[in-house]
Amino acid sequence: MRDDRYCSCELTHKQPHGATEMKLESSNRERLLTPAEVAEMLGVTEGTLSVWRCVKRYPLPFVKAGRLVRYKAADVAKFIDSRTESCEAVPA
């Protein structure tokens, strides 16, 4: 008996119908950045990012899956915003 959750083209792969669309939707929702990309954005080395993660030096959230480390673009933007200081004079 055929399982209706699978398209005929997916019978050999056993991938549920619509799984590809869900994956594309998810990847468009928020891009994950590599440590190299984040290091370049922040002007630090990948090693520095590694130390920050290890010692929890700064509140920069990361995603870890096995050995892979990724950063959500929104988290990196929030981190940069939180570290931004203004040069406005304080009224006396």
Mean pLDDT, residues 21-36: 69
- pLDDT class for 87, splitting at 50, 70, 90? confident
Look up the domain containing 5 and give its range. Answer: 1-30
Number of structural domains (the chain) is: 2
Please name every residue paired with 84 in a beta bridge, in sequence order, or none if there are none: none
pTM of this structure: 0.62
CA distance 23 to 16: 12
pLDDT digits (tens, 9 = 90+) for 48-78: 999 999 998 888 999 999 999 999 999 999 9
Q: For residues 64 and 38, state if they share a domain.
A: yes
Per-residue tokens: 73: 């673009």
Q: For residues 25 and 65, state if they share a domain.
A: no
Mean pLDDT, residues 8-19: 48
In 3D space, the residue among 32, 21, 22, 85 whose CA is nearest the CA of residue 63 turns out to be 32
Q: For residues 17 and 42, state if they share a domain.
A: no
Q: For residues 14 and 40, state if they share a domain.
A: no
**Could you tell me if residue 90 is inside a domain?**
no
Q: Determine the pLDDT at residue 89.
A: 72
CA distance 77 to 74: 5
Q: For residues 38 and 25, state if they share a domain.
A: no
